[in-house]
Amino acid sequence: MIERTLFSSEHEMWRESVRRFIEKEIVPFHDQWEEDGIVPRDVWLKAGEAGMLCCTVPEEYGGLGADYLYDVVVFEELWRSGSSGPGFLIHADLVATYIRSFGTEEQKQHWLPKMVTGEAIGSLGMTEPHAGSDLKAIRTTAVRDGDDYVINGQKVFISNGQMCDVLVLATKTDSSAGAHGVTLFLVDTSLPGFRRGQNLKKLGMKAQDTSELFFDDLRVPASAMLGEEGGGFKLMMTKLAQERLAQAIRSATVTETVLEWTVDYTSQRNAFGQTIADFQNTQFVLADLKARSVAARVFTDKCIELFLENKLDPVDAAIAKMITSELHCEAADKCLQLFGGWGYMWEYPIARAYADARIVKIAGGSIEVMKMIIAREMFKGKIGRNR
């Protein structure tokens, strides 16, 4: 098989450290967290102490100042272990990145050290009941009042919503300006007017808290604005490739993992006088998935390489997200089938992987949106000219 060449010996040493932490501090307790619907805050603090949160944050803000591959290792090892509860990816890959990329020095000094240690948990407040992939359609408003902005509205499906201390919040400062009316704020969730709704019950990823959030005359200082007024949509667009790359990394990793589980299981399980693996159907199903998982991995790693060089194109990121997400769901389904009735039992990791998988074709932009992005590039200047 093609050897991965992205990682140095230092990255692999880091991987071993991360793997040991996950095996000790996360895996033994994950079942209970799924029952509780939330990961305890002390786990975040332990992860922060181990250096696993916000690896790329510069040392001046308390981080490791490491390259993106250190974050990739953390994400891969979490997904490889089947630990879908800790929302470290959203915290580090999205929220901390927004602050590091667009925040003022004061904002960075205030939030990043706390996010590195796990003292402050980050969340991304964009999706609304009537606005998912179409972020221009959000209705949460921020109205200027002296030196403050007054925010009203609601968000839904917000990962880390029950836990978050800081929220990158998308609002409309000009409801008539479309994309040019979107403004981002860093919201301190201890402020009056911020209210958490219920911890939503989901098909999968049951240990990761996912919430409704409400804003009732929430007053934030103008200094809490992230970037410029009306510039929020542009900022969000610059980070979509990174968000979609993270989804591709997740899907490529889980696809490989469920294949490993299924090869091991079918090699031991007997039926009709032979192992399940002895049947040609089993071999063909898994061989097909393996071939496509290798291709998906190679392309995903190429996208990581391009991202490290600041060359990742949004269309390539959309392609990676689309092909890996679809393969991820198909692999979870076909592998569960080979486990038979046991695959349907929650105690088996394959059942949880199946339930967790379905969101990947929605999160980070739906598959349909990915196809629109790809097609728009293919037919640039060739369609819609008569409208």
What CATH code is carried by the domain that includes residue 254? 1.20.140.10
The residue with tokens 């991965």 is: 4
Segment 265-323, tens digit of pLDDT: 999 999 999 999 999 999 999 999 999 999 999 999 999 999 999 999 999 999 999 99
pTM above 0.85, yes or no: yes
Same domain for 94 and 49? yes
Whether 133 shows a pLDDT value over 90: the answer reads no
The residue out of 176, 201, 228 marking a domain boundary is 228
Could you list the residue range(s) of the whole structural domain that residue 196 is in? Answer: 123-228
- Are 325 and 284 in contact by the 8 Å Cβ rule? The answer is no
Q: Which of 105, 243, 326, 368 is catalytic?
A: 243
> E strands within the chain?
122-125, 141-145, 148-159, 166-172, 182-188, 194-199, 210-221, 225-226, 270-271, 274-275
The answer to whether 59 and 65 have CB atoms below 8 angstroms apart is yes
Same domain, residue pair 164 and 269 = no
Whether residues 289 and 212 fall in one domain: no
Task: Give yes or no: residues 43 and 115 share one domain.
Answer: yes
25 plus 87 within the same structural domain? yes
> What are the beta bridge partners of residue 152?
141
Domain-located, residue 140: yes
Residue that wins the pLDDT comparison between 2 and 126: 126
Whether 3 maps to a domain, the answer reads no
324 contacts 303 by C-beta, under 8 angstroms = no
Measured distance CA(189)–CA(98) in Å, rounded: 17
pLDDT digits (tens, 9 = 90+) for 201-229: 999 999 999 999 999 999 999 999 999 99
Looking at the structure, tell me whether residues 144 and 189 fall in a common domain.
yes
Q: Looking at the structure, do residues 20 and 135 belong to the same domain, yes or no? A: no
How many independent structural domains does the chain possess?
Answer: 3
Residues 252 and 372 in one domain: yes
Here the CATH number for the domain that contains residue 158 is 2.40.110.10
Joined together, the tokens standing for residue 354 give 């199946």
DSSP sequence for 202-226: -SS-TTS-EEEEEEEEEEEEGGGEE
**CATH number of the domain enclosing 80:** 1.10.540.10
Question: Can 243 be counted among the known catalytic residues?
Answer: yes
For residue 385, being part of any structural domain is answered with no
**Looking at the domain assignment, is residue 285 inside a domain?**
yes
Evaluate whether residue 66 is within a structural domain: yes
Tell me, yes or no, whether 370 and 263 share the same domain.
yes
The three-point CA angle 21-27-28 to 5° equals 110
Question: In 50-148, which residue ranges form alpha helices assigned H by DSSP?
Answer: 68-80, 88-89, 97-102, 105-117
State the average pLDDT for the chain: 96
Do 206 and 191 lie in one domain? The reply is yes
Q: How many CB atoms lie within 10 A of CB 13?
A: 12
Give the tokens for residue 209: 């808290």
